[in-house]
Amino acid sequence: MNAPVPVPDATRLASATAAEIAAAVASGTVSARAIIEATLARIAALDPAINAFTDLTAERARAHADRIDAARAAGEPLGPLAGVPFAVKNLFDIAGLPTRAGSKINRERQPSAQDAFLVERLETAGAILVGGLNMGEYAYDFTGENVHDGASRNPHDLTRMSGGSSGGTGAAVAAAMVPLALGSDTNGSIRVPSSLCGTFGLKPTYGRLGRGGSFPFVTALDHLGPLARSVADLALSYDAMQGEDARDPGQTPRPVEPVAGLIGEGIDGLRIAIAGGWFRAKAQPEAFAAVDAVAAALGARDLVDIPDAARARASAYIITAAEGASLHARRLAVRAEDFDPAVRDRLLAGLAIPASWVDAAQRFRRHFRGEMLKLFETHDVLLAPATPSRAPKLGQKTFVLDGEEMLVRPNLGLFTQPISFIGLPVVAVPVRVDVGDAPDLPIGVQVIAPPWREDMALRVAAELERLGVAAAPAATL
């Protein structure tokens, strides 16, 4: 058996997907240790400018890599992600580190005794954790700007936002510091960074992936999922993370349903439509141009209205503010000065929301879900913008949408909130269109499927990737 040879430099790693790395490690072409050393070198070179990482687990990563190399040398079977570096938003528990959740207060917590469930699942599949990632405080953010750790910057333009609240996740993947990273999505926090940073992102069906060992924001709306630079990597990681999580009482019991073998089946037989109404207003031209480019490539012509989407978004706001405020009420009472003022003020407002409003929002949620399921009786997949614009400038407070000046922070998620509100699975795909300002920057499109049909959304995303309409190459810094 030939001895493994090291990666010649970090440049090779920058263009490698998780699938390519795992194949190279399994074949002995490259050692897992060499991959990790190249990854750590690339992080050291790039992250001072990007600020995606808040914690590194270098010695843990090296030790895990050495175990993988020893297993390969002994002829033992390797997992499907063997040797693949990954990182996680710092609301995931990492054994030995306090779980920051983007806050000043949480970093005073005792170190976690156990990894989060999804970290355990990925490492069981052979992936190697290299660190924790920057995020908006307590996940109440769409910009990627953190007052305690500094803003995570967009690798395509360091003067622009990475998106939030999984901003460090989007930035780390887009800069090829890791091929795969985990984020969370309550109202759009996987899809917004995916859109602004130009990565693929998967928000699975609510209740699909276990949330054990992750710091909550809104239990009724929280999802966890991966970001990557290829659809195949999304599928591989999604398959690895499925399974029963005894620590998450909100997980829906379902058998493991692998999708990696299905994504190449194409779109024959899928009925694809464009979301209209709310999803064709209040955006800059590039958002609609991206959807139109995707629709044209897929041959999708039907325009369907999603009834009451504006009310769904308003209801999501009410549930988010009220449940988030309840979670943080004690911290607000004794440590209010240690919050990001923008987060603190919204949480304080949430404490004043009448319970009757929350009840009404939850009742409407059930109604809206029923109406959406009716749409899926005649269509399999819906297309919609992921964000209303490309990445705004860091510190930018307002932008103009459909002739109206609006606040950036709450409105980057105006197209994602109605979808996560009812827990539908979505793949965000990155598109480039020569329309609007900053045409070199990517923007995302949501591929929305019925509950538990991640496979259909991934099939559409894979077809767009095959056609070259959607692509997430590493940013050139």
| Cβ neighbours of residue 200 closer than 8 Å, sequence gap 6 or more | 194, 227, 228, 229, 230, 231, 233, 234, 427, 428, 429, 430, 461, 465, 470, 472
H helices of 433-473, in order, are 454-467
Distance between first and last Cα of the chain: 38
The residue from 31, 165, 315, 420 that is catalytic is: 165
List the one residue out of 182, 191, 217 whose CA is nearest residue 323: 217
Nearest-5° Cα angle at 102, 97 to 108: 45
Cα 234 to Cα 473: distance, rounded to the nearest angstrom: 15
Q: Is 189 a catalytic residue?
A: yes
Q: Return phi, psi of residue 350, to 5°.
A: -65, -30
Q: Is 194 a catalytic residue?
A: no
How many of the other CB atoms lie within 10 Å of CB of 62?
17
Cα 38 to Cα 56: distance, rounded to the nearest angstrom: 14
Cβ atoms of 201 and 226 within 8 Å: the answer is yes
Cβ atoms of 222 and 324 within 8 Å: the answer is no
Element (H, E) at 21: helix 18-27
3-state secondary structure of 248: coil
The residue from 103, 162, 189, 195 that is catalytic is: 189
Which positions are catalytic? 89, 165, 189
